[in-house]
Amino acid sequence: MYGYVYVYEYGAWFGLRHAMSCLDATRRPQTIAALEAETFDIAIIGGGITGAGVAREASLRGLRVALLEAEDFAAGTSSRSSKLIHGGLRYLAMGDVALVRETALERKVLHRMAPHLVQRRWMVLPVRSRAGLLKFRTAITTYEKLGAVESEDLHRNWDAGDLAREEPALDREAFPYACAYREYLTDDARLVIANLRAAAAAGAICLSYAPVTAIGADGGAAARAVEARCVFSGQELRVRARCVVNAAGPWVEAVRRLAEPQAPSMLHLSKGVHIALPTERLPVRNLVLLAAPDGRSLFAIPRGEVTYIGTTDTSYDGGARVWPEIAGDDVRYLLEPLPRYFPGAALGESDVVARWAGLRPLVAHPGKAAQDLSRKDEITVGAGGVVTVAGGKLTGYRPMAVRILESAAPLLGRPLPPRPRHEPPLPGGDIAGDGGRTSLPSDAAERLLGLYGSDAAAIIDGDGGTPVAATLLRRGEIDWAVRREGAMRAEDVLQRRTRIALYQPRWHDALVEPVVERMAQLLDWSAGRCDEEVRRAR
Interaction site with ligand FAD (CB under 6 A): 45-51, 68-71, 75-78, 80-84, 211-212, 247-251, 255, 272, 311, 358-361, 392-395
CA–CA separation, 44 vs 52, rounded Å?
9
Cα-to-chain-centroid distance, residue 425: 17
**What minimum distance in Å lies between the beta carbon of 2 and ligand FAD?**
34
Q: Which is nearer to ligand FAD, 245 or 511 (CB)?
A: 245
Cα-to-chain-centroid distance, residue 27: 25
* CA-to-CA dists, residue 135 to 140, 178, 447, 518, 534, angstroms: 10, 12, 38, 56, 53
**What minimum distance in Å lies between the beta carbon of 299 and ligand FAD?**
8
Q: Which is nearer to ligand FAD, 380 or 454 (CB)?
A: 380
Q: Which is nearer to ligand FAD, 18 or 398 (CB)?
A: 398
Q: Which is nearer to ligand FAD, 158 or 299 (CB)?
A: 299
- 516 in helix, strand or coil? helix
CA–CA separation, 190 vs 453, rounded Å?
11
**What minimum distance in Å lies between the beta carbon of 388 and ligand FAD?**
11
> Judging by beta carbons within 10 Å of its beta carbon (0-12, 13-18, 19+), is residue 497 exposed, middle or buried?
buried
**What minimum distance in Å lies between the beta carbon of 102 and ligand FAD?**
11
Contact indicator for 342, 170 with CB cutoff of 8 Å: yes
**What minimum distance in Å lies between the beta carbon of 238 and ligand FAD?**
14
**What minimum distance in Å lies between the beta carbon of 501 and ligand FAD?**
16
**What minimum distance in Å lies between the beta carbon of 305 and ligand FAD?**
20
Q: Which is nearer to ligand FAD, 48 or 425 (CB)?
A: 48
Write the secondary structure of 387-429 as one string of H (helix), E (strand) and C (coil): EEEECCCCCCHHHHHHHHHHHHHHHHCCCCCCCCCCCCCCCCC
Residue 477 has, within 13 A of its CA and on its CB side, a CA count of 30
Q: Kind and range of the H or E element at 50?
A: helix 49-60
Q: Which is nearer to ligand FAD, 82 or 495 (CB)?
A: 82
* 29 Cβ contact partners less than 8 Å away, ≥ 6 residues apart: none
One-letter amino acid identity for 198? A
Strand 297-303 with 306-310, pairing:
antiparallel
Q: Which is nearer to ligand FAD, 157 or 407 (CB)?
A: 407
Q: Which is nearer to ligand FAD, 355 or 474 (CB)?
A: 355
CA–CA separation, 487 vs 173, rounded Å?
49
CA–CA separation, 501 vs 517, rounded Å?
18
**What minimum distance in Å lies between the beta carbon of 391 and ligand FAD?**
7
